[in-house]
Structure 1
């Protein structure tokens, strides 16, 4: 099968003239008097380069089969389809929607072996191969751009071996392959392509887009490397939000979780987390600018943006570099420390211990509505902070701890001070947490009821068992009563009974509590934790009692008791794993140190 009009014949030598790889001519240009179709003819195929659609039904079926083979990476099937056309011109046709050629599909998949074989197939026709490599899809992307977006360095290297200019050819919307690699977060690919580029390629404006793309996708090490060569980028703003790099980082709490970086950024990694190194470099560039104060506050204040995003690490990092930032205020006249208290950012609040003599000055500041720091602590925490705790009771406990910790560091005269609404901090707390208090009461009540049902059933069963065995023991022989297994049964039954009884009393205490605000600070959570511990010990003893019965009945030489013991052990392990996280959370919430205790780091 061959295309009509083809001038290529098997065995002939391909033409050596340069191919016109200009963009597809528009319909208006094709209708104009200056349009010459011969300018777009591929000499050894005899087809116009802009006419890439299959016309015959037979060719459409071949394109469909070739597309399926390219998607799957089935080179054997693809080779058969390609060879059906002696000119191989099907490789230059659009085989699916979006004007994707075979090379586009295989490179975007990405199938390394498929691409290697396809390009090797064109070894005797280098100009046609170069033409295929430079073809663009419907969005203006070459196959090289799609390979960069897919993160396949092997395909990139193979393509560049045949056409080194591909790295500088722009794709859709005038974006470079490097930009596409960063857009999809392929760090190794982006670092590799960036290492290949030499100024003026990519152009400064293109590289600025790459810089912001690196920050948006978490390639902080590469962003720092770009900034090192272009310090002025620290003052630039992204086109979408008109924000500086520091503003973007302020809204990324995950940026300060260190992870391995590529080889190009090993120097930065030795200095710590790539994001920390990037922030330090950005801050150094920004502070040397005369418009430093305006850059920090425009379009919004980056420190308060960071606090709202929960990025306390970003704030503490900048404050360590520039302590005067502690005096910065937001629209409500809140300092960073005041905003951190309101937003429950403990790491930022701990900075109060590192500011020396001005500590008392900052603690004494009030906002525009005469709210003290204690009034701000009395407000309900953001949902993102409340949701860190699994139950309403623990959330209430955490809120109370915040309030009490702030009260502890303030001067006594500020505790009963009223704001412009004539409310004390305690009144603000009670009003703001009224709904949470109701939820905490219901949660604690339901938890205690559920646990009490279990412990009551255990106590009832164990009491019955103990009485039955004790009375039945009068009819047993002395030899039977002196057996170790029988005595072990009695002891474990007694331990299970009394531990279950204590757990029941703990849960009963919770159910009869008054559920006042202060009760959730320590009393109720600690009683719940103790009840769970006693309940768990009771269940362990119960399983021991149950397993011992089989040793008494079948003896130690029979395998059945050991099988029962193993099953009981599995049940205990499952119960322990289910209960442990909840117990640890209650313990951590109840016994944790002051939220404002200074860090030892």
Structure 2
């Protein structure tokens, strides 16, 4: 390839055109005269790049970095050897110019990088130029694209030099290079596609497995590489049917690892390739169960439509175990705003007849005020809905998908044997909606018993499932059957309530005192439901319900006594210290007293009034708190005391202690302002900030205990006795 002729005005530019030499070689060029920047960081790259291009362009050397003057292939003739020498001479000159224009750190980084890739440092000027562009350029192709291109080139060179192929095993567990590429190319897939192109056509991807029996598609499913799934299935659709050593399909692994997008992609490919075997029999059922366990109810319902009806309750059992919690008040409200105006109009219409019946302007005015209040309340409620909606929309959608799936599953079964285990599992999980839907679908389910002879109401008492037990109050008079019903051991409902609750239910409450209180609430609730005669009935072991309760809860009562005593002792010390401090502050007021009259010097100061009131409040409340905690320490700690007596005293003591601590801090802040404030109002800012610190700490650390006690003792009952409807007649 002959070089273009140079201008004769440039004596340093020498071109020899002949059979042996075909490349330009400017022999007398001082590169620093052209490139004044020593490249060291990205900010300098644009200026350095411009100067280098000017240098190379002015001497017709651009072809060595843009790929036009490639390294000549080796040959045996003298002409070939001459071409090689000429190319090496010119390429080395360009490479020297580039490296000489770099800082020491940049040059070492580039050389070390290229030396690792190329043997014997035989990298070219183009290699250096491309590496600098990848490391420092910010325009043109993105850095990610450049890096990826470099990686692909490196991989190709590595395979070529090592004599390997992408299908060779390179790790201890038998992963091939393709396995590694599938597992690490989630965000970019050009490398995977290039490696697949390098794979011989006669090799089937289905035969590439590691020591776990995982194919490439198994790995893609495990890591959630959706794009790789598309690439691999297009290459070999039979990968969808492959199973690893444990019998798992790629779809099963994707569902197990909760990769919803990848699972949906696999399902679409299975349908497109008509591999119905994956949606038939136990295999299809297993896939639906896995989708339910990963809370992907929409995909489970989609797969359910394609599988054949099964003769197993596994899907219902999975729904009973993983059904989402019930929606609370706001979540049950309309989250959509399509009915905003209809709702307002409906409420306005309800007052129009009032306006017509008004006989005086006073009544008219009252009616319009009521109408305005209704309008404001409606708008406020709808605004709240729109504010809450973003936080509950996902939960609302998941809940609706679970309900739709459950109804689809129920339509497939027509025998009570399919509901036996699911209804008891749902009862144990306190999944009220599952139980109610089963009863609506199959009314005779209320008579189903488990291996211990318990129906689902008895089982709800044993497992402390309050939502299921509350269904009693939605039944007709047939609920009276449960007042006398007994199990095989002669236990009535109250005997079952007297048993110790399962450990997982007890752990829902913090502190043994609250746990025994909840157990007493259950016992009293069931006791109120039964007839007085049944409360004293004995079971097969000749024990009354109260005897069973005492025996079962003996250890828990002891733990509750220890917990509440240790709590009261700790707070007693605190209350005593506060009482001592505020009493001393009351008799030694800030600033002292007048020597003649004995009246405090700061009597007329507003801050002194605040101090006096706060100190008095702190003293009285701390003494009250101290007395409450002392009364707890001296009580008898009987079982029934944990229901109201002890929690009530602990609530009063903690509340008084909180008020006392707050008032003491306020009194101290007022004292600081009196003594050091010197009438400077700006002192209120640091004093107020420091005052809020201990109060906030107390609220953060101790207020949750007060809240739990008040909620458990005086809050809304866990049992819903409101009657919404009947399940059977």
Interval of TM-score (by shorter of Structure 1 and Structure 2)? 0.7 to 0.9
Equivalent of residue 318 in structure 1, options 434, 438, 444:
438
Contact between 2:591 and 2:600, CA under 8 Å: does it hold in 1?
Answer: no
Question: How far did 1:137 drift?
Answer: 2.7
Distance 1:597 1:217, change over 3 A: closer
Which residue pairs with 1:536 in the alignment? 658
Equivalent of residue 385 in structure 1, options 505, 521, 527:
505
Equivalent of residue 177 in structure 2, options 92, 99, 102:
102
Which residue pairs with 1:579 in the alignment? 702
Contact between 2:590 and 2:671, CA under 8 Å: does it hold in 1?
Answer: no
Which residue pairs with 1:568 in the alignment? 691
Contact between 1:252 and 1:311, CA under 8 Å: does it hold in 2?
Answer: no
Which residue pairs with 1:51 in the alignment? none
Question: How far did 1:487 drift?
Answer: 1.8
Q: Distance in 2 between matches of 1:230 and 1:78?
A: 43
Q: Distance in 2 between matches of 1:478 and 1:460?
A: 21
Which residue pairs with 2:613 in the alignment? 491
Q: Map 1:132-531; keep pairs closer than 5 Å.
A: 135-160=208-233, 163=235, 165=237, 168=240, 170-173=242-245, 175-198=248-271, 200-203=274-277, 204-205=280-281, 206-233=283-310, 235-236=311-312, 244-252=314-322, 272-287=399-414, 292-297=415-420, 301-469=421-589, 472-475=592-595, 480-531=602-653
Which residue pairs with 2:375 in the alignment? none
Q: Distance in 1 between matches of 2:462 and 2:537?
A: 17
Q: Distance in 2 between matches of 1:197 and 1:94?
A: 29
Post-superposition CA distance 1:512-558 (Å, at most 9, x none): 21212221111110110111111111111111111112211222527
Larger Rg: 2
Contact between 1:119 and 1:129, CA under 8 Å: does it hold in 2?
Answer: no
Which residue pairs with 2:11 in the alignment? none
Q: Distance in 2 between matches of 1:324 and 1:172?
A: 43
Q: Distance in 1 between matches of 2:723 and 2:413?
A: 30
Contact between 2:148 and 2:191, CA under 8 Å: does it hold in 1?
Answer: no
Question: How far did 1:373 drift?
Answer: 0.9
Contact between 2:565 and 2:632, CA under 8 Å: does it hold in 1?
Answer: yes
Contact between 1:550 and 1:561, CA under 8 Å: does it hold in 2?
Answer: no
Question: How far did 1:78 drift?
Answer: 6.1
Contact between 1:93 and 1:101, CA under 8 Å: does it hold in 2?
Answer: yes
Q: Distance in 1 between matches of 2:180 and 2:723?
A: 55
Q: Greater CA deviation, 508-517 or 400-409?
A: 508-517
**Please, what TM-score do these two structures have when normalized by structure 1?**
0.77
Distance 1:490 1:195, change over 3 A: same
Contact between 1:392 and 1:443, CA under 8 Å: does it hold in 2?
Answer: yes
Q: Distance in 2 between matches of 1:317 and 1:138?
A: 46
Q: Give the unaligned 5+ runs of structure 2.
A: 1-71, 74-116, 118-146, 332-392, 725-729
**Please, what TM-score do these two structures have when normalized by structure 2?**
0.64
Aligned residue for 1:112, secondary structure, equals coil
Q: Distance in 2 between matches of 1:424 and 1:434?
A: 16
Q: Distance in 1 between matches of 2:412 and 2:241?
A: 32
Aligned residue for 2:588, secondary structure, equals helix
Q: Distance in 2 between matches of 1:85 and 1:355?
A: 75
* 2:151 matches 1:83: no
Q: Distance in 1 between matches of 2:233 and 2:257?
A: 21
Q: Distance in 1 between matches of 2:722 and 2:224?
A: 41
Distance 1:436 1:567, change over 3 A: same
Aligned residue for 2:444, secondary structure, equals helix
Q: Distance in 2 between matches of 1:96 and 1:549?
A: 74
Q: Give the unaligned 5+ runs of structure 1.
A: 1-9, 12-57, 59-72, 237-242, 260-265
Aligned residue for 1:92, secondary structure, equals coil
Post-superposition CA distance 1:56-93 (Å, at most 9, x none): xx9xxxxxxxxxxxxxx977356324314438744222
Which residue pairs with 2:168 in the alignment? 93
Post-superposition CA distance 1:274-299 (Å, at most 9, x none): 33322222222112xxxx233444xx
